[in-house]
Structure 1
């Protein structure tokens, strides 16, 4: 047990769901949350716990201990402790963090989106072996929900208002400014925790000339009950199912991801797919050929007509490789391939590894040819 102070919570009846969106909590979401999250401890900054959104989260797990922390960045029981490697998945399932987003900067991107919006969450309950987020906060990195959602949405709205109409098309979108709202988390899972993502989808449903975008590996059918009005692009991440069973830990099965594509389009979302990460191994191209066939079978003409994809080959990291050896060494047999990889310094200065440049160009050409042959209706927005 921790010696950190337990927060004094409001009396029952005063800390329930956010009055704005409390009615959206239903049995289906609760069941999905139970499968993904069994929260026993909520680490909370005092102001975050006292906020309407913080009270909403606490009310969803009324039996969890609420532990006061000075900063969501510095929680020894969760972040930065090497001993936590052995409890990697358990921490993701049992811990939540509540904090306030201090930096509300909208950053330019230009690849998947025009801009990166201020995060409404950080971390994830899933445990993909290649995820870059643990490199920053340290080790397991469960979900941190930022409770000052009103300030986050206000910052986005101001930025959109300053942009004005998009003057010319680019790879992000032909007409709208695209804002990635899930850079450091999975919004479909975040929607199990609070109504932050609903607030963001609702915001972009009412904005002219801008749309939200997020990638996800989790099928949350509650999103189908919302009304995005075409203002949100959902990017379902896909990879061959056999590869995903080793690397995409605690995510939705590939068949479920494929099955929800048409439903999302019918619900009013723009739907793209991320072919990501592409991992090179014996038989990898044949596995992708099978997946592209499954994608074609799973999607209607309406879905195909608006579908586009991003193709992203694996980038890995030596520090993450060492961490993974402590909890999931089988994944590293696929991810850590010194015989195929070379060092790469990323835009933020981190030293990573990627497939050797000339080999990667051949692999990319092979996959591009496969896409043209098997899924000519799927436009490639960008590939690297």
Structure 2
């Protein structure tokens, strides 16, 4: 990657804060430590511009929920709350995150969407409040020292062109909260202009379509923007997100702005008519990307799976869900540490994998299939 000017750029100013489907929290809380961070002032400016009136500056760093709430009430309030906090030291230690990227960096924890299969269910403790980190500089600081190390793209001949990769969306959807934080733009700009050195790249996945704030950033083709896409029969489980045609259109917009892009087709489910539905999705993507100069597009295909813990949480959050969580129709897969997750039976997995491998090659031959799981 070509070295570039290392002078930092400011977070872009607040503009146009009310397009469709932007999440506006009802409650914002700021911890005592976060209030001392410069980036918090930018977040509060954006929160005010978004029309939030319930903003509390806490006298401590602990966030507590109101007493006397039922499980459903606690969930609803948490999903309406944005907390500005300082990432603790444990959160600042980057962890390997195969098969997605070399390392994980967290700009936030929690997501405003209401996906009934939520990947965060069972992996995050407490009410699902969206916590954004005020100490973005600390979160991004490890990039320089870790560039050149890693087991996913670094040293892999097939993916070496991506450099050392840093995943920003393991525990959040950074685009879904970007209008309130500016943290994603700061990260894209800093890495794109070489502030953290050469040879690193960012990647994130989103279910939102508000890409306008990213289009003019000096990204240097060092951030891969991936869109979580799915069949229409699965989209009904994704509340509070941009609709699939909007995501596909946004994919085309960022690709034309020079970003490397990606499809995160997840979670794949063999719903009735799945072949026709996924074929229509791939055709729509091919149309959106037609004619893009220097197109760099990847695909990651992830089948639906759940754990006993995530099932319990999901059924508590969405008691009337029609999501298939029947263990009898699945195969139990155990991890090295004894954990269990339920995946589709081997025959179903082989059928799905074969179909996606063939159809991606036929309908979107430019896409590199990075992995299947």
- In the alignment, structure 1 residue 129 sits paired with structure 2 residue 116: yes
SS at match of 2:202: strand
Q: Deviations over 1:200-259 (max 9, x none)?
A: 111211142111011111112211132211010111110013421x21111111101111
Question: What value does the CA root-mean-square deviation take over the aligned residues?
Answer: 2.9
Name 2:245's counterpart in structure 1. Answer: 255
Shift in alpha-carbon separation, 1:88–1:266, aligned structure 2, 3 A: same
| CA gap 1:113/1:280 in 2 versus in 1, 3 angstroms | same
The answer to whether the Cα contact below 8 Å between 1:101 and 1:146 also exists between their aligned partners in 2 is no
Q: Which moved more, 1:145-154 or 1:59-68?
A: 59-68
Size of the aligned set, in residue pairs, is 355
Distance apart, 1:85 and its partner CA:
3.1
SS in 2 for 1:58: helix
Pair 1:349–1:266, CA change in 2 (3 A):
farther
| Larger helix percent | 1
Are the counterparts in 2 of residues 187 and 214 from structure 1 also a CA contact under 8 Å? Answer: yes
**Aligned equivalents of 1:228, 1:248: Cα separation in 2:** 29
2:242 and 2:293 map into 1 onto residues whose CA distance is 20
The equivalent of 1:59 in structure 2 is 45
Which of 361, 366, 370 is 1:372 aligned to? 361
Residue 99 in structure 1 maps to residue 86 in structure 2: yes
Residue in 1 that maps onto 2:288: 298
Structure 2: distance between partners of 1:292 and 1:372: 10
Deviation at 1:318, TM superposition (A): 2.6
Structure 1 stretch 193-202 or stretch 169-178: which is displaced more? 169-178
Deviation at 1:71, TM superposition (A): 4.3
Does structure 2 conserve the Cα–Cα contact (< 8 Å) formed by 1:169 and 1:175?
no
Aligned to 1:317: 307
- Cα separation, 1, equivalents of 2:294 and 2:231: 19
Does 2:327 align with 1:338? yes
Is the aligned partner of 1:275 residue 2:265?
A: yes
TM-score w.r.t. the length of structure 2 is 0.84
> Bigger relative contact order, structure 1 or 2, given CA contacts below 8 A and separation 6+?
2
User: Aligned match of 1:362 in 348, 351, 358?
Assistant: 351
Question: Within 1, Cα distance between the matches of 2:227 and 2:138?
Answer: 28
Cα 1:34/1:253, change in 2 over 3 Å? closer
CA distance in 2, matches of 1:376, 1:132: 29
The answer to whether the Cα contact below 8 Å between 2:255 and 2:295 also exists between their aligned partners in 1 is: no
| Cα pair distance change 1:171/1:320, threshold 3 Å | farther
Deviation at 1:194, TM superposition (A): 1.3
Tell me whether 1:109 sits opposite 2:97 in the alignment. yes
Deviation at 1:303, TM superposition (A): 6.3
